Chains A and B, each alone.
Chain A
Amino acid sequence: MKKVFSRPRSLKNTPFHYCAGCGHSITHRLICDAVDQLGIRGITIGVPPAGCAVLAYNYFDVDMLEAPHGRGCAVATGIKRTLPDRVVFSYQGDGDLAAIGTAETFHAANRGENITVIFINNAVYGMTGGQMAPTTLLGMMSTTSPPGRSATLDGHPIRMSEVLARLEGTAYIERCAVNSPQNILRAGRAIRKAFRYQMDGAGFTMIEVLSQCPTNWKMTAAESCKWVDEVMAQAFPIGVIKDIRKGEKHAD
């Protein structure tokens, strides 16, 4: 029999440290798949964040350069400007990208830096134990908002993709999810497309991934996947938010 599905070659044969059912490991695999399919393993440089994915360099078989908390876009900008022929991606969570690194992210997008950002949105600070993040939904319980997030006290969840889509430097922004096979396949296509845009020099590309966090949401993996569809996707609608090449034909 012919092998039709296996681990991507760019994904090291190391067991993930993530919790059972976590969306991080699915997204890691999708990025490695995209790198393999585009044949860019030797020229890809990744920038892992502070957060659950801080050890991402243990899993990707490409060059990685760890960024200080929130500074993924700034580090990726530096790498891309020094080595413009490389494919540079920054991998960041919601606390990293939308709280501590808002300024770096916003200005890198505004400058239209030719980098790709993979933005994992799980609505909490995962690594530190489930505190409220800028993306926590209204009414959602977290360890620092036990009665649920209140708009008066804590403000509204930030929709980073929509915010950045208004800037002229951004080329392609899509929000995906990794909670079902269909959504995972779609997220994989989006990541490939973002890398291809970057290789064509289109500008700043970002893929927001709604990622389940069973541990901090206090759910089973199956319940958390359902929750992404039923609750989270209502506040963060899935789909293409900006595409400057909309209507053009692509290879896939």
Chain B
Amino acid sequence: MAKARIVIDRELCKECHLCILACKKALIVATAEFNSRGYHPVASGDGDECTGCTLCAVTCPEAAIEVYRG
């Protein structure tokens, strides 16, 4: 059972990929899908290892990431 998970608002994502650099466990991945504004939003990969450290959400310039823990 995962300790924590993140929810990415794919419509807000502008694919700057700063969250990918921020994640110490490399759990966030780029995708080839499009959102309605023409960007390729990132997605969170298999999340069992996510600790809910919030570093991705702290870094996200679009404030598109929510973190749940517990």
Contact = CB atoms under 8 A, between A and B. Distances in A.
A25 B13 CA distance: 12
Interface centre among B21, B22, B61, B67 (most CB of A within 10 A): B61
Given A21-B16, A181-B55, A221-B17, A16 B61 contact: yes
Interface centre among B4, B15, B63 (most CB of A within 10 A): B63
A247 interface: no
B61 A26 contact: yes
A22 B61 contact: yes
Interface residues of A, number: 29
Nearest to A32: B63
B18 A4 contact: no
Contacts of B14: 19-21
B62 A5 contact: no
The range of chain B's interface size is 20 to 34
A222 B18 CA distance: 6
A18 to B, nearest CB: 7
Nearest to B19: A181
Nearest to B37: A15
B61 A181 contact: no
A48 B23 CA distance: 32
B58 A185 contact: yes
A225 interface: yes
B66 interface: yes
A5 B61 contact: no
B37 to A, nearest CB: 8
Contact of A2 (B18, B59, B61, B68): B68
Interface in B30-53: 37, 39, 52
Contact of B22 (A15, A22, A181): A181
A169 interface: no
A165 interface: no
A23 interface: yes
Contacts of A4: 4, 52, 54, 67-70
B69 A1 contact: yes
A11 B69 CA distance: 22
Nearest to B55: A181
B8 interface: no
9 contacts: A1-B4, A2-B70, A4-B52, A4-B54, A8-B63, A15-B37, A16-B61, A181-B22, A221-B16
